[in-house]
Structure 1
Amino acid sequence: MPAAMRSSGSEAIRPGLGTWRSLTLSGIGLRMHWLILVLVLLLGALQYRLWVGEGSIAELHSLKREIALEESELERLRARNRELQAEVDDLREGSEAIEERARSELGMIKPGEIFIQVIERPEPPK
């Protein structure tokens, strides 16, 4: 018998089996398309949240900039506090700092000193 004529006989019993298999495979393909679509949408949503949403990379960089600014401001205030503490210590321990402040802020002089005030002439308008 020629090869084309040989058969196991199942084709004769179930003649629509080939059609059924193609429908099943196309159904699986359709399910795969839906699965791929859902996965792509999920990936897009996660990427959106990563780049734009709450807790995103842009927000992280913004917060890091704010932290750096606050740290520099904190260091400036700490330096100012150290200067003020040194001034307080000078005022507590010695009279030179008190004398200097009285002269510069209140215009006071010691007995026997002569106060000379220099007034500069304003430049004439051109």
Structure 2
Amino acid sequence: MPANVTLDGNPIEISGKLPQPGENTPPFTLTTSGLEDVKLDHWAGKRKILNIVPSVDTGVCAASTRKFNEKAGSLDNTVVLVISADLPFAASRFCGAEGLKNVETLSTFRNYSFQQDYGVAIQTGP
């Protein structure tokens, strides 16, 4: 089922299938700020929260990243992954400038199927 997504109140078409509650999420390989490719099982044994955003350089995405960072500090055995299409350096720079130390950033720049696999591939704009 596609999610309802808007930009400035205008609907945006996305494609792919969102993982449903109780389903296993699709495996992925994404890139860290150190240019290391990691798989989801890198965090085996921990609960994983995925904050998937187009770019941390947008107001809403930056705000969600800040909020997840705030909440992540009090979560036991949990990792919060901020996943964006930003280059790894840009996402890392944003978190460094904002003092965000409780989230980990990952980039989809080497994995073109991630957005489709997770149902968040943006197809249209306003």
- Give the shorter-chain TM-score range: under 0.3
Structure having the higher helix fraction is: 1
Using CA pairs under 8 Å that are at least 6 residues apart, name the structure with larger relative contact order, 1 or 2.
2
Q: Based on CA coordinates, which of the two structures has the bigger radius of gyration?
A: 1
Structure having the higher strand fraction is: 2
